[in-house]
Chains A and B, each alone.
Chain A
Amino acid sequence: MTAPYALLAAALVGLGLHGVLAHAEPLRRLLAFNLLGSGVFLVFGVVARRGAAAGLEADPVPQAIVITGLVVAFAATTLAVALLLRLHGGDPPQD
């Protein structure tokens, strides 16, 4: 039941890691890093689904940790984007 998503999670981790290591442009590395993160979150999703019990569709504890992780990943990405724009971005387009 969860096997397709388990394989997808592993593939996303591999793909993301490849992008982080093989790309030279910082923005592409950032995108790949986020894909790697999506793969890790999906591992939690698979574990949560497998832990379905007591009438719940999935174990709520890994789900709560993924929600926390998504928000933290977004915050870290905004900081990385701000650093990138400061390093390479020049002036804002409206100036």
Chain B
Amino acid sequence: MTLALDLLLAGAILVVAAWTVAARDGFAACFGFVATGLLLALAWVRLGSVDVALTEAAIGAGIGGVLLLNAAARLRGQETVDPGDVARPWQARGIAALCTAVAVALAAVLLALPVPAPGLAPAAAAALPPTGLGNPVTATLMTWRALDTLLEAVVVLLAVIGVWSLAPDAAWGGRPGPQVPPAEGPLALLARVLPPIGLVIGLHIVWAGADGPGGKFQGGAILAAMWVLAWMAGLVRPPPVGSRRLVLALVAGPAVFLMVGLAGLALAGSFLALPAGFSKPVILAIEAPLTLSIATGLALLLLGPPARAA
């Protein structure tokens, strides 16, 4: 029964993904991509990775889908294709053969993995009690893989700088994203009714991430989505890119994380090490500003560069 469910789900994802690649229109392909992401979130639940499922649904399919659909709508009929980029028939056959070979080889390797599988689960479970956390994935992100998490927060910041740097000269210093007229009808109602609920859910997911599925990236994505919804309805405006408060919100998380990391060098013996017995409060002190920075960063990435002067 469960095998049938897994086969059905995997088959459905494959069909939607194939349609994403084969669809005639970029806009339709984006819908296929969002559907693939949502079904993949279910696959992650089946694989026992609920934290990843939440991230895939919130970031991969959710705000990623909004980003790509907006891009597809604006690029419709505008994209110029370099004739040299169009595959000739013999090239298309070669590409198909190569990709089939890669997929078959990867499948063979994955099916031939050793049993019992080696892993770090026992080590992670044994190291869990000293952190004061109940969710081993959050503990992994905040302790023994903290360097990854720090760099990831910095990558979001770098992406914001990269996107902003694409602003036309005349628009530099303006507010990010196109100007949105006040919406009427269902969108205006939704943008007023949903954010209070979404804020509670987003913050709950951040808080619950200590002991159950959730965390700052998933919760931060929901908080960012709520703000972007209010922005789409014309209810809020982003501050200009030069705003000191905006910049502070963006860098607070990585800066606090970096300072705690350096303090660990002095107090606990190595970079990013947490002092024994104080892990939980220190992790909370990092996660609070990090959530703010991630939510701000994700929202700004969705908006894009400033499009008009301040």
A12 close to B17 (CB less than 8 A): yes
A48 close to B48 (CB less than 8 A): yes
Chain B contacts with A in 272-288, Cβ cutoff 8 A: none
Q: Which residues of B contact A76 (CB under 8 A)?
A: 159
Chain A contacts with B in 9-27, Cβ cutoff 8 A: 9-19, 21-27
A75 close to B159 (CB less than 8 A): yes
Q: Which residues of A contact B289 (CB under 8 A)?
A: none
Decide yes or no: A8 and B10 within 8 Å by CB, A13-B102, A24-B87, A67-B55 being known contacts.
Answer: yes
Decide yes or no: A85 and B304 within 8 Å by CB, A12-B17, A77-B68 being known contacts.
Answer: yes
Q: Say if the beta carbon of B169 comes within 8 Å of chain A.
A: no
B99 close to A14 (CB less than 8 A): yes
A58 close to B49 (CB less than 8 A): yes
A48 close to B17 (CB less than 8 A): no
A81 close to B68 (CB less than 8 A): yes
Q: Which residues of A contact B9 (CB under 8 A)?
A: 4
Decide yes or no: A74 and B60 within 8 Å by CB, A10-B103, A51-B121, A61-B145 being known contacts.
Answer: yes
- A95 nearest CB across to chain B (Å): 7
Among B134-142, B200-208, B241-249, B254-262, the one that faces the other chain is: B134-142
- B26 nearest CB across to chain A (Å): 5
Chain A contacts with B in 57-95, Cβ cutoff 8 A: 57-61, 63-68, 70-79, 81-86, 88-95
Interface residues of A (CB under 8 A from B): 1-19, 21-28, 30-32, 34-35, 38, 41-43, 45-61, 63-68, 70-79, 81-86, 88-95
Among B28-36, B186-194, B263-271, the one that faces the other chain is: B28-36
B149 close to A46 (CB less than 8 A): no
B95 close to A56 (CB less than 8 A): no
Q: Which residues of B contact A7 (CB under 8 A)?
A: 10, 107, 110-111
- Please, which residue of chain A has its CB at the minimum distance from the CB of B82? A24
Q: Which residues of A contact B26 (CB under 8 A)?
A: 25, 27-28, 31
State in angstroms the CA–CA spacing of A31 and B216 once bound together.
26
B106 close to A68 (CB less than 8 A): no
Q: Say if the beta carbon of B253 comes within 8 Å of chain A.
A: no
Decide yes or no: A61 and B48 within 8 Å by CB, A17-B99, A71-B155, A88-B78 being known contacts.
Answer: no
State in angstroms the CA–CA spacing of A46 and B109 once bound together.
12
Most buried by A among B117, B126, B215: B117
State in angstroms the CA–CA spacing of A63 and B30 once bound together.
26
A5 close to B52 (CB less than 8 A): no
Q: Which residues of A contact B102 (CB under 8 A)?
A: 13-14, 17
Decide yes or no: A94 and B180 within 8 Å by CB, A13-B102, A70-B55, A89-B74 being known contacts.
Answer: yes
Decide yes or no: A61 and B120 within 8 Å by CB, A17-B102, A49-B48, A68-B141 being known contacts.
Answer: yes
Q: Which residues of A contact B44 (CB under 8 A)?
A: 45
Most buried by A among B48, B217, B307: B48
Chain B contacts with A in 13-29, Cβ cutoff 8 A: 13-14, 17-18, 20-21, 26, 29
Q: List 26 A-B contacts (CB under 8 A).
A: A4-B7, A11-B107, A13-B106, A15-B99, A18-B96, A21-B87, A28-B26, A31-B20, A38-B17, A38-B36, A42-B43, A45-B44, A46-B47, A47-B113, A53-B122, A59-B121, A60-B139, A61-B140, A71-B156, A78-B67, A82-B163, A84-B75, A85-B75, A85-B304, A90-B74, A90-B78
- A27 nearest CB across to chain B (Å): 5
Q: Say if the beta carbon of B181 comes within 8 Å of chain A.
A: yes
State in angstroms the CA–CA spacing of A59 and B107 once bound together.
21
Decide yes or no: A77 and B64 within 8 Å by CB, A72-B152, A94-B180 being known contacts.
Answer: yes
